[in-house]
Structure 1
Amino acid sequence: MKRQLLFALATAAALSAVSLTACSSDSSSSPATPEVSPTDPTQTTDPAQTQTDPAQNPSDPATQQNPSDTTSAVTPQPTDPTDTTATPADTATQPPVDTSVTQPVASDPCEGILPQPIAFPMNEFADVGEVYRNIQCNEKVVFLVRHGEREAGIGSESPLTEDGALEAQEMGAKLVGPTEFKFIHSGFVRTYQTALNIAIGRGQSQMLPDSSVVNFAADTIKQLADGWYLKDKELRDTVMKRDSIKNVNVIYAAWVYEGQYADVFYDLEERSMELLNTYVIKDYAAMPKYTLIASHDQVLMPLTAFATQKQIDLKLHEPTSRKWLSYLAGVAVIINDKNEVRYVPIKGGSSGTI
């Protein structure tokens, strides 16, 4: 009788473990990213080894380890009705069952996740932490954000300021969770440092006192730098001089929101979809659970406007309007297990615009 009772309890616990096993929170493999060069950010990429875009600057690399999580179910063994090894005993002599002991059960990967995603508005930036917490167990996400605040200079070697690094770490603290992120950057020092400091902020990586980095790797996609949407740089410079425009971002805003300077840029929809389908959106099964891409404003401003159907206001018209994409702001691209995609404009800091 005692052995039958213990066997019944074990079977019930196993069945409980099975019932709590839900959809996996991560894929078992990571995608092969097109045009990715694993390099060190201080090295120069060999143009003969990677496809280049005429408007791009060369990038600097690092290697990426792609995380994966697995869940397992416990299969209960059926009771054998022919088993006669158990010896009946007088129930009056059996010790009482201690019901105060909690039996361990398998954790639910979807525990705490809402059954339906929140419909974030398209005309304002949502906090990246809120979007991260809203990702469903059957969804994966790519966060595309502008780099953090940089030092003066727009060259590829211009680093983050101390405030820029700190703000990136504060953004990373909003993304704390058990599953690691895959990181991608454009190859510029500031995008590499942005990705690194976000990883440090979420506890995935760390920097030692001697400035060496522990447990951080990233892929480099140099096409995701300023110039992705630019078709004719010489014509851009000509019309800026002709129209007395000093800030190139004014031309970007006029093109995106008003259709001006169409001969200077590629078609917004076609070029945005090319970027997404080439470097961002893969088949659901081939994607990591979480990816973060650190890029630039002249990539992410048009992409964010496209993804929100221009509902997000980034209309820069000097001197009347100074709205532009802020540091650590951009768009989240979310894909579910049916390969359906939704977009959310996101901010890593206090505001999505500057």
Structure 2
Amino acid sequence: MRKALFALSALSLAAALVSCGESSTSASEDPISSSSEAIGTVSSGSEVLLSSAATEITSSASTEVSSASVESSASTSTPLAVSPDEDGFYAIADIYKAAPATSKIAFIIRHAEREDSLGQLSNLTEVGVEQAKALGATLASEETFYYGSTDYVRTRATAEYIAEGRGEVATVDTLDEILDGNYFIAVPSDSFDAYTSTHGGSWTFISRWAYNDTVANPTVNANLKQAYATYFYDLFERKDQFVSENIVANIPNWKRVSFLITHDVLVASLIIAVSNRTIDLQFFASRRWANYLSGIAVVVDEEGGVLVYPVRGADVGYMYP
């Protein structure tokens, strides 16, 4: 079985975007509007083939992966004895239990279910509280975890309730730069929101970019490609940068296991990149999006080898908003 295996060099921490927002598309609204016709309809050739396992990435793999930040598979890291579900996600508890005691693990996940509002003070729903506690209960052990989040009520609360579910009291550090929700977006958030509001909504536009969606009309397709280049960084290069600079470079400062709670735009992009587009979060076509408590796990062994897995803390890794 193929695993999501990455051997990355530990680079120095670079400054990330300062904005820490979440997709402006509410889970309760339909972001598909008639204006989506401005960038065309989905072609059959853009369909992503799904597999039950993640993809092994080496220096000779897809040309879309940056050889500057992804080293060859000379790493001695051994894939964990875990299996993905039929959608390609690994259960967080399985990763935790399978990782050697000498390895460090960072789970970078979306917060639990939130209230309808998107503001910084938006809290978890009662369901969200129970989701976070239930995840924590699957991770019960004697060791204490490290917790970090963005400076949002819902992300901090998710960390606190995961800890409560484990039977510990969390001290949650604010890590806005490391966990920036707009990490993959290359323009200010107001410019991005203005564009996506007239082009089908943010989830539609983000998922089209992440899967490199193309259309039959050459003029529309050229405009679409230009929009991708304008509003986003390169998916795979930015993923490599996030893992190496934001996580691997900082993981020595954290405890053996860390929970880092952030927002949907960041984790959706990471999941798609880490799975090499084999996981279906094609909101523009399938209507699937990153579920609450889904994200990635970065496992660093004692020799510095790095394994990265798409993970879920709920029963499924995707949602139908």
Using structure 2 for the length normalisation, give the TM-score. 0.67
Aligned position for 1:240? 196
Report SS of the residue matched to 2:144. Answer: coil
2:149 maps to 1:185: yes
Q: What residue identity is the alignment partner of 2:300?
A: I
Aligned position for 1:148? 112
Aligned position for 2:91? 127
Inter-partner Cα distance in structure 1 for 2:306 and 2:234: 21
Q: CA 1:349–1:241 in structure 2 vs 1: closer, same or farther (change >3 Å)? A: closer
Among 152, 164, 171, the alignment partner of 1:200 is: 164
Runs of 5+ unmatched residues, structure 2: 1-11, 22-77, 214-224
Aligned position for 1:109? none
Aligned position for 2:314? 349
CA deviation map 1:240-296 (0-9, x unaligned): 3554x1x21111101111164221111222322232223211377555210001111
Aligned position for 2:267? 300
Report SS of the residue matched to 2:148. Answer: strand
2:192 maps to 1:231: no
Inter-partner Cα distance in structure 1 for 2:250 and 2:114: 34
Inter-partner Cα distance in structure 2 for 1:241 and 1:292: 32
Q: CA 1:116–1:275 in structure 2 vs 1: closer, same or farther (change >3 Å)? A: closer
Report SS of the residue matched to 2:163. Answer: helix
Aligned position for 2:32? none
Kept after mapping to 1: 8 A contact 2:16/2:180:
no
Report SS of the residue matched to 1:321. Answer: coil
Inter-partner Cα distance in structure 2 for 1:353 and 1:144: 15
Inter-partner Cα distance in structure 1 for 2:115 and 2:19: 23
Inter-partner Cα distance in structure 2 for 1:334 and 1:203: 23
Kept after mapping to 2: 8 A contact 1:120/1:344:
no
Report SS of the residue matched to 2:315. Answer: coil
Kept after mapping to 2: 8 A contact 1:140/1:289:
yes
Kept after mapping to 2: 8 A contact 1:255/1:262:
no
Q: CA 1:116–1:238 in structure 2 vs 1: closer, same or farther (change >3 Å)? A: closer
Among 122, 137, 154, the alignment partner of 1:173 is: 137
Q: CA 1:255–1:190 in structure 2 vs 1: closer, same or farther (change >3 Å)? A: same
Q: Which has the higher contact order (CA 8 A, sep 6+)?
A: 2
Inter-partner Cα distance in structure 2 for 1:159 and 1:258: 34
Once the 2 structures are TM-superposed, how far is the Cα of residue 237 of structure 1 from its aligned partner?
A: 4.2
Aligned position for 2:211? 257
Inter-partner Cα distance in structure 2 for 1:270 and 1:255: 14
CA deviation map 1:28-55 (0-9, x unaligned): xxxxx979xxxxxxxxxxxxxxx77353
Q: How many residues align?
A: 236
CA deviation map 1:36-78 (0-9, x unaligned): xxxxxxxxxxxxxxx7735336xxxxxxxxxxxxxxxxxxxxx
Quote the RMSD (CA, aligned, Å). 2.5
Q: CA 1:172–1:240 in structure 2 vs 1: closer, same or farther (change >3 Å)? A: same
Once the 2 structures are TM-superposed, how far is the Cα of residue 125 of structure 1 from its aligned partner?
A: 1.3
2:291 maps to 1:337: no
Runs of 5+ unmatched residues, structure 1: 1-32, 36-50, 58-114, 206-215
Once the 2 structures are TM-superposed, how far is the Cα of residue 236 of structure 1 from its aligned partner?
A: 3.2
Aligned position for 2:19? 55
Inter-partner Cα distance in structure 1 for 2:271 and 2:160: 23
Aligned position for 2:31? none
Inter-partner Cα distance in structure 2 for 1:116 and 1:272: 20
Q: CA 1:284–1:236 in structure 2 vs 1: closer, same or farther (change >3 Å)? A: closer
Inter-partner Cα distance in structure 2 for 1:226 and 1:116: 28
Kept after mapping to 2: 8 A contact 1:284/1:337:
no
Identity of aligned residues (%): 27
Aligned position for 1:117? 80
Q: CA 1:221–1:267 in structure 2 vs 1: closer, same or farther (change >3 Å)? A: same
Aligned position for 1:222? 176
Once the 2 structures are TM-superposed, how far is the Cα of residue 321 of structure 1 from its aligned partner?
A: 1.9
Using structure 1 for the length normalisation, give the TM-score. 0.61
Once the 2 structures are TM-superposed, how far is the Cα of residue 309 of structure 1 from its aligned partner?
A: 1.6
